[in-house]
Amino acid sequence: MRFCRSLLPLLLLVPALGFASSVPVGPVRAGFAVRSIVPAQSDWSAVWQTTRRRPTGVLPGDGLWARASFIRSGDTSLAIVSLDVLGLFYEDVVRIREQIRGALGAGTHVLVASTHTHSSIDTLGIYGPDQTTSGINPAYQAFVLSQAAGAAIDAAAAAQDVTEVRFGSKVPGETVNEYDRSRHPGTFDDSVNVIQLRGASGAIGTIVNWASHPELIDSKSTSDPMIPASMRGAVMSSDYAHTLRTTVEAAGGGTTVYLNGPNGAVTGLAVAIVDPDTGTLFPKKSVKKAYHVGRRIGLTALDALAAPSALSVTAPTLAVRSEEMFLTVENAFILALKAAGVVDRPTYTAGVESPAGRDVKTEMLHARFGPAEFLTMPGELQPDLYTGVYQPMHERANPDVPPERAIEPQMTGDIHFVVGLGMDELGYFVSATDYVPPTLNPLYSNGVDRNGVSHYQETLSLGRDTARALSQQASRMLGHAPEPDYFAYPGGFLTANGVAHYNDAGSPVHGIWGDTSDSGRYEAREDAQVFVPVPSAAGSAYGYLDSQLRDAGKQLDARARGVWVDGDGDGGFDARRDPHLFFDTWMLGEGLLFKIPL
């Protein structure tokens, strides 16, 4: 998942989507800048921290920041702004973008993301004094937006010629992170992805992408020895992001911008991490633990840049495109917050703004910068939706519902920057195959699935269909044909309303079909016209996940995924004889179900 040099793009016969521009007209230029977004102390009594408390101080040397990079290659420019806030809604992102474009030009592309630090000021409205009162302070909100835009404008003013761009990716040597194993397979992408832009005098700045929840500091602690006594109660901090950035900067990496990744249910809270000073385990939450994790990720970023696998490009091209989209709010709790004025953002019906609407507008941005590929996610993406490694069938809440098409296998860049909380914060994105809605009886609480597992993430999720809508949008942005999904059931029985379907010979249906009705089930009336049979006489159908496909002993692609028919019956994939039967595929569970984008 760190690098993806794959032959699959040659197999996908779909047109690539166009970008704004990708032809350099002059040298690459880049600049970085930082502005503080810590509220003035005189305003602390007027803002709310994400603990529903008034802030009591800022950890010494730490802070909350707007950090920006500005990159121009040819006619294309991109401003990236990372904010130490829990999240920003899309409407505020648009306001930041308007300010940036007012100074730098209407053609400037803008990516705004939140680090998601839990020790910050409420910028979403959901952490006021109670669940019916917004925690937004309009003056502070305007200050954050102004500082965010100002940091990008400062970065553009500081831009200088780039002589080299280094790209790297590496998994930390020490385990400091995990995917919530109470309801998931524990598989996630722990890669630290890095871009460093260098000029004549050394590093201009560094961009680091890593997925986790910055929640390792207990900002309410009254006993943490690293929180000064005068600040205890609701301390402000950028959590592990602080030492991640300072570690890279201290090593000469220039101003460092941290971007979170697909961090849904990914955290270091429950990871047993040894304090190197004492030889004992860190507490579940502590400033020292957070700073230790940040240093480890910062050092991993530096190692990635120094590794032999790092890539060096003198003048990488830049291409950027973005699209708005609408997502439907199904969660009754979020609708109630909107009705109470706690969540303040417009709603839509059929694309038209309407107070009674249940859709929200958001945006997805896709960029290529040399060998790096960026894709924003407007919230907290569960890692299985990124990697395609889903739970076994028996562990899923809804095993009859097929999972969504995963994002990472569709990305073709060498290094993938999936930016969590990019352009919006719409909560968790949970696969429909494991989605259990929260319950309102008697109180709003976690839903429980058929295996007795409690589902927290859905309490802060728009709804079951959100993940599929995002998956479809990502496919379009990445240049792949969107759904209908295609499924292959080698040797399986396809049923509609519990009735098995047979071919003319009376044998069970084998084959690939399109779910044009989007029901997740084979329905003869709606789906038969796109059914492609797999003739049993041709041999068996095979599915491979991360397999080695060989032709005359030569490895074709160590990461190839596919369903194919062994036409000559030799038990192997033969490029000359079998490629017309090959389909790019994601295995969905226990070797039984495959998902095929055509």
- HEC string of 498-538 equals CEECECCCCCECCEEEECCCCCCCCCHHHHHHHCEECCHHH
8 in any annotated domain:
no
How sure is the predictor about 342, in pLDDT bands with cuts at 50, 70 and 90? very high
| 396 plus 542 within the same structural domain | no
Angstrom distance (rounded) from CA 586 to CA 409: 8
Domain identity same for 290 and 381: no
- CA-CA distance, 385 to 188, in Å (whole number)? 10
pLDDT of 262 higher than 70: yes
Give the separation between CA 417 and CA 209, rounded to whole angstroms.
6
Nearest Cα residue to 65 out of 86, 88, 41, 35: 35
Which residue would you say has higher pLDDT here, 484 or 244? Answer: 244
Same domain, residue pair 296 and 345: no
Q: What is the pLDDT of residue 16?
A: 31
356, part of any domain: yes
383-403 per-residue burial string, b: 16 or more CB within 10 A, e: under 16 = bbbbbbbbbeeebbbbbebbb
Given this model, what pLDDT does residue 395 score?
82
- Residue 3, pLDDT > 60, answer no
Residue carrying structure tokens 């909107």: 338
User: In this structure, is residue 173 part of a structural domain?
Assistant: yes
Residues 453-499 pLDDT 10s: 999 999 999 999 999 999 999 999 998 765 544 443 333 333 333 33
Q: Is 474 within 8 Å of 410 (Cβ atoms)?
A: yes
Measured CA to CA, the distance from residue 13 to residue 458 in angstroms comes to 36
- Tell me the helix, strand and coil percentages in the chain, rounded to 5: 20, 30, 50
Range(s) of the domain holding residue 262: 28-313
Cβ–Cβ contacts within 10 Å for residue 283, how many?
A: 16
pLDDT tier for residue 389 given thresholds of 50, 70 and 90: confident
Residues 195, 301: one domain? yes
pLDDT band at 441 (very low <50, low <70, confident <90, very high): low
- Which DSSP letter does residue 334 get? H
Runs of H (alpha helix) within 307-453: 332-339, 383-387
Beta bridge partners, 311, equal: 167
| Three-state secondary-structure class, residue 322 | strand
pLDDT of residue 518: 52
The confidence score (pLDDT) of residue 122 equals: 97
Tokens of 535: 């003739």
The mean pLDDT value for 305-328 works out to 97
Peptide bond into 442 cis (omega under 30): yes
CA atoms of 8 and 388, how far apart (whole Å): 16
Same domain, 415 and 283: no
Residue 189: beta bridge partners? none
Residue 433 lies in a domain: yes
pLDDT of residue 535: 40
Q: Are 512 and 551 in a shared domain?
A: yes
pLDDT tens string 78-120 = 999 999 999 999 999 999 999 999 999 999 999 999 999 999 9
Predicted confidence (pLDDT) at residue 508 exceeds the cutoff of 90? no
Is there a domain that residue 198 lies in?
Answer: yes
Enter the pTM of the model: 0.81
- Same domain, yes or no: 530 and 393: no
Res. 523: pLDDT tops 70: no
Percent of the chain scoring above 70 in pLDDT: 74
Q: Could you read off the pLDDT of 201-243 as tens digits, one per residue?
A: 999 999 999 999 999 999 999 999 999 999 999 999 999 999 9
Strands (DSSP E) contained in 201-260 are 202-210, 235-236, 255-260
Rounded to 5°, angle at Cα 287 from 33 and 376: 45
pLDDT of residue 179: 87
User: Model confidence at 568, in pLDDT bands (50, 70, 90)?
Assistant: low
- Poorest-confidence range of 35-44, 369-378, 579-588? 579-588
When divided into structural domains, the chain yields a total of 3
Residue 421 is given by DSSP the state T
| Pairing mode, strands 352-353 and 359-369 | unpaired
The residues near 192 (Cβ < 8 Å, ≥ 6 apart) are: 169, 170, 171, 172, 208, 209, 210, 297, 300, 301, 304
Pairing of strands 372-376, 415-419: parallel
Query: Looking at residue 406, what is its pLDDT?
Result: 87
Maximum alpha-carbon separation in the chain: 81
Residues 329 and 467 in one domain: yes
Helix (H) / strand (E) containing 76? strand 76-83
Percent of the chain whose pLDDT exceeds 90: 67
Is the pLDDT at 501 greater than 90? The verdict is: no
Of 38, 43, 30, nearest to 120 by C-alpha is 38
Say whether pLDDT at 300 is over 50.
Answer: yes
pLDDT score of 160: 98
* Averaged confidence pLDDT in the chain: 81
**Same domain? 280 vs 331:** no
Are 119 and 216 found together in one domain? yes
3-state DSSP assignment of residue 145: helix
Domain boundary residue, one of 288, 313, 338 = 313
Looking at the domain assignment, is residue 135 inside a domain? yes
What pLDDT is stored for residue 534 in this prediction? 40
The last residue of one of the domains, among 313, 343, 372, is 313
What confidence score (pLDDT) does residue 284 get? 96
Q: Dump pLDDT digits (tens) for 282-295.
A: 999 999 999 999 99
Task: Look at residues 477, 507, 537 and tell me which one is the last residue of a structural domain.
Answer: 477
The pLDDT of residue 536 is above 50: no
Q: Distance (Å, rounded) from C-alpha 449 to C-alpha 434?
A: 8
- Sheet of 511-514: strands edge to edge? 532-533, 511-514, 486-489, 593-596, 586-589
In this predicted model, which residue has the larger pLDDT, 295 or 24?
295
At 584, is the pLDDT very low, low, confident or very high (cuts 50, 70, 90)?
very low
pLDDT at 183: 64
- Tell me: do 323 and 418 sit in the same domain: yes
In a domain, 566, yes or no: yes
Q: Would you state the pLDDT for residue 26?
A: 61
Q: What is the pLDDT of residue 140?
A: 98
Look at residue 181 in the predicted model and tell me its pLDDT: 65
Token pair 């009594």 is found at: 45
95 plus 214 within the same structural domain = yes
The pLDDT of residue 505 is above 90: no
Residue owning tokens 């790209």: 167
CA 314 to each of CA 82, 164, 251: distance values in angstroms, whole numbers, following the listed order: 25, 4, 22
Q: Are 595 and 472 within 8 A, CB to CB?
A: no
Lowest mean pLDDT among 18-32, 106-120, 251-265, 503-517: 503-517
- Asked if residue 362 is part of any domain, the answer here is yes
